[in-house]
Amino acid sequence: MVRFYARHLFVSFIASCAMMVGIAAAQSVGTPLPPIDQETPDGFRQYEGEPAQPGVEPQPAVPQFPQTTPRASVGDAIDPLLAPRTFPQAPPDPSQPFPQDALPDTAQPAAPGIDGLLPLTSVEIDWRVENPFRFFADAKDTEVHRATYLSLSPEQREAAPVLASEHALARRHEAGWAETMYRKTCWAGRRNRHVCPDKSDYVNPDRHRVIVSLKGMTEPNVDCRWITSELGPSPGAESAVTRPCGEPMTFSAPYPAGIGVRVEVGGITVASTEIKVRDIFVVGIGDSFGSGEGNPDVPVRFSPERTVEYGKGGGADDLTGYPARAGPWKQVGDDAFVEGNARWLDQACHRSLYSYQVRAALELAVEDPHRAVTFAGFACSGAEVTWGLFLRYKGNEWVPNPPDLSQISAAADAQCGKRDAPVVDMPEAYHMNGIIPELQGGLTLSKCPPNQARKIDLVLLSVGGNDIGFARLVANAVLSDESLVRNLGGWFGQVHGNKESQELLTRLDQRYKAMNRAIHGILHVPWDESDRVILTSYPPFALLDDQGNMCRDGSAGMEVFSEFKITQKAALSSSWLADKLDQIMKKSAELHGWTFAEDHRKTFVGRGLCAGHTNGLGPLVDDLRLPRRHDGVWKPYNPAHYEPYAARLRWFRTPNDAFLTGNFHVAGSVVQKVLKLQSFSWFQVLLASTYSGAFHPTAEGHAAIADSVVLRARAVLQRHGQQSAAVATPDTETP
């Protein structure tokens, strides 16, 4: 008899412990009751599994195991624990062992039971921003880049995620990935402002859409009740929605306060969190290396059969058999010809989505699921610190609506969001005691009031090359001494050598000082946060090979125009000056407390202007020659097969590449008016091979530069507490 009751008490104790574990688990998450199914007229609350009227005992649950259970309920698992125990009808015989069928049904539960509830303690809420790169108006475009990033190997994400992503995208998009995206952005070219298609306040978002899901949920078909409430000084009312636990949810999270989210299963809270998006403001300013020159969002297409003739050059050169654009045009410069122009995110400034500034901001967005990036880019091909950053500069391609503000003023105007930034007089603030005469007297700049200006988290800066006349220096290096173009310096601004550039170098740091004052004084970057300015080094000068020797052939990659020819003296001299420029930039960055990005200079080794072949013994993409058609035959290849964004050895656009990618032309009347040339056809070849981005990085080169900038940007954000703990690490993140 004692033995019977001892066993009975032991079994009762085990069952009680099981119930206490369930109750304790419910209390620990703060919701002790299952959800209310309905309320009767007399106020009695009816819960799932309870009788319709009070005083009626519930019946024990009958286990059911259908072949297909579309939706289960934790109530089904709890009911067997709450059901009355059943014992044999006859009193037990004390001399016999306790019958096995008299044991409470908790040992072998019909539903998952308490063992099924315990795994819920490991359930977590996982979330990410739906469109982390807000510059793309369509979240699907951002998702292309996010998915590409997540598809990379851990090694690729660790070493060079932007470059690896560019290679992956180039394999899927022969004409380049930007063609389908550049029109769907928050940049309104006609207004020269950052405006989204939905007319929302782009610079100052008030909320972000987030995608939320559960991690560790072993029963995805069970119903989850998602309860949300807006956070902040005055928390909003709770709202709830029920969906299968395996189904991701999309919520709108107020910015910056965020939203509280908890998930209940069968009335028990299984997970909760606060969702707060970290939105960083990234501004890009500078010159052609910042704008993406040489990499139009939509490159020019060429006919597989048609050719174009440019008459005679300065001498007796044969300018026939050149690749001709595809399309129904009849003569160079007519409407149909213009319709086939290369297209850019910003036409006047030749700013494109391939720019390292865009790619760096995009990478910062896709690598951190809890971060959004608001990017505002103003870099313009041909810009200097003076004409471009401080003073209005209209770009290097004529358009009906050129930039109407300097880059500093444009950035300040953007800080004000939908408000217009007031214009203030700055006649004596930035000429540095007359060292920069262009900034003396009459200088006005837009400046957003501090209490209205959005704080800038990163300034991506690429400037200095044009300030020392680098483009003119390149022209000096590649134009033969007998070149007729040397006498047409008005179009190039000026063709000069090292003497002139060295004189400008001595004054470059004063321009950087003026720039530093404006970044702090106009754009409100705190003086003790100067490291938020990331000055980017220029890649090594591309006229020399890896051993410092001149390219094998002085005209390799440049036979598009007969007057192009590199001389060893000019190449070595220009290379020395480029290194001098890099040293001054680095010292100026240290002086002003800026971050200096230069790691990409090493990755460009082996990727110079003449990396490739001229004998046909190699891949087509690495052929440096320009296709020409003579006697009905294209040699060395049909221009219709040229792929501007394919991976290749060289990371610089040669003049030949520029002709086949951007193919910049102007109307004949413009050439006659500006250059006073009656016979202008040959000059179009020069424009098509220089103003289309010659001697500038390819999309691969920009991706490599972006990786260098991202490395520095992460460190800056980390120092200022803006690097999320959710940043993907190579061994933990999954698609």
Q: How far apart are CA 221 and CA 69, in angstroms?
A: 8
- Residues 656 and 559 sit within 8 Å (Cβ to Cβ): yes
What element of type H or E holds 413?
A: helix 407-415
pLDDT digits (tens, 9 = 90+) for 504-539: 788 899 999 999 999 999 999 999 999 999 999 999
- Please tell me the predicted confidence (pLDDT) of residue 670: 62
Q: How far apart are CA 336 and CA 352, in angstroms?
A: 23
Burial 565-597 (b: 16+ CB within 10 A, else e): bbbeebbbbbbebbeebbebbeebbeebebbbb
pLDDT digits (tens, 9 = 90+) for 381-400: 999 999 999 999 999 888 99
pLDDT digits (tens, 9 = 90+) for 111-163: 444 455 555 668 999 999 999 999 999 999 999 999 999 999 999 999 999 99
Is residue 104 over pLDDT 50? no
Question: Residue range 421-438: average pLDDT?
Answer: 94
Question: Residue range 190-219: average pLDDT?
Answer: 95
Is residue 61 over pLDDT 60? no
pLDDT digits (tens, 9 = 90+) for 656-684: 999 999 999 987 666 556 555 545 577 78
Token pair of 239 as six digits = 């709202």
- Please tell me the predicted confidence (pLDDT) of residue 518: 98
Lowest mean pLDDT among 73-87, 443-457, 659-673: 73-87
3-state secondary structure of 584: helix
For CA atoms 722, 725, 728, 729, give the dihedral sign.
positive
- Please tell me the predicted confidence (pLDDT) of residue 553: 65
Residue 81 burial by Cβ neighbours in a 10 Å radius (0-12, 13-18, 19+): buried
pLDDT digits (tens, 9 = 90+) for 400-425: 999 999 999 999 999 999 999 999 99
CA dihedral 42, 44, 45, 51 (to 10 degrees): -120
Lowest mean pLDDT among 10-14, 122-126, 428-432, 453-457: 10-14
Q: How confident is the model at residue 60 (pLDDT cuts 50, 70, 90)?
A: very low
Q: How confident is the model at residue 545 (pLDDT cuts 50, 70, 90)?
A: low
Token pair of 375 as six digits = 């990017």
Is residue 20 over pLDDT 60? no
- Residues 57 and 51 sit within 8 Å (Cβ to Cβ): yes
- Please tell me the predicted confidence (pLDDT) of residue 671: 58
What is the DSSP secondary-structure string of 112-161? -HHHHHGGGGG-EEEEEES-SBTTBSSHHHHHHHHHHHHTS-HHHHHH-H
Q: How confident is the model at residue 66 (pLDDT cuts 50, 70, 90)?
A: very low
- Please tell me the predicted confidence (pLDDT) of residue 679: 53
3-state secondary structure of 503: helix
- Residues 263 and 269 sit within 8 Å (Cβ to Cβ): yes
- Please tell me the predicted confidence (pLDDT) of residue 502: 72
Lowest mean pLDDT among 237-241, 348-352, 576-580, 714-718: 576-580
Question: Residue range 160-172: average pLDDT?
Answer: 97
Q: How far apart are CA 219 and CA 201, in angstroms?
A: 41
Q: How confident is the model at residue 582 (pLDDT cuts 50, 70, 90)?
A: very high
Q: Which span out of 4-13, 39-48, 650-659 was modeled with the highest average pLDDT? A: 650-659
- Please tell me the predicted confidence (pLDDT) of residue 592: 97
Is residue 192 over pLDDT 50? yes
Lowest mean pLDDT among 337-346, 435-444, 519-528, 553-562: 553-562
- Please tell me the predicted confidence (pLDDT) of residue 7: 41
- Please tell me the predicted confidence (pLDDT) of residue 164: 98
Is residue 8 over pLDDT 80? no
For CA atoms 629, 630, 635, 637, give the dihedral sign.
positive
Other Cβ atoms closer than 10 A to 504: 18
Question: Which has more confidence, 174 or 621?
Answer: 621
Is residue 280 over pLDDT 60? yes
> In the chain, what is the straight-line distance between the N-terminal and C-terminal CA atoms, in Å?
63
Crossing angle of helices 681-690/668-675, nearest 10°?
90
Look-up of token digits 């199914």:
37
- Please tell me the predicted confidence (pLDDT) of residue 120: 60
Residue 465: partners with Cβ closer than 8 Å, 6 or more residues away: 287, 288, 289, 471, 538, 581
- Please tell me the predicted confidence (pLDDT) of residue 640: 97
Other Cβ atoms closer than 10 A to 171: 10
- Residues 75 and 49 sit within 8 Å (Cβ to Cβ): yes
- Please tell me the predicted confidence (pLDDT) of residue 312: 63
Provide the pairing of β-strand 278-286 with 371-377: parallel
Is residue 479 over pLDDT 80? no
Lowest mean pLDDT among 162-166, 257-261, 458-462, 666-670: 666-670
Q: How confident is the model at residue 318 (pLDDT cuts 50, 70, 90)?
A: confident
pLDDT digits (tens, 9 = 90+) for 609-634: 888 899 999 999 999 999 999 999 99
Separation in Å, CA 376 to CA 178, 338, 397, 460, 645: 17, 28, 21, 10, 25
Is residue 38 over pLDDT 90? no
Share of the chain above pLDDT 70, in %: 74
Lowest mean pLDDT among 87-96, 180-189, 267-276, 381-390: 87-96
Residue of 607, 579, 307, 357 whose CA lies nearest to 462 = 357
Q: How far apart are CA 120 and CA 703, in angstroms?
A: 43
Token pair of 254 as six digits = 């107020």
- Residues 214 and 124 sit within 8 Å (Cβ to Cβ): yes
Lowest mean pLDDT among 29-43, 284-298, 694-708: 29-43
Q: What is the mean pLDDT of the chain?
A: 82
Provide the pairing of β-strand 444-446 with 239-244: unpaired
Is residue 297 over pLDDT 80? yes
pLDDT digits (tens, 9 = 90+) for 220-248: 999 999 999 999 888 778 999 999 999 99
Residue 518: partners with Cβ closer than 8 Å, 6 or more residues away: 389, 390, 408, 430, 445
3-state secondary structure of 262: strand
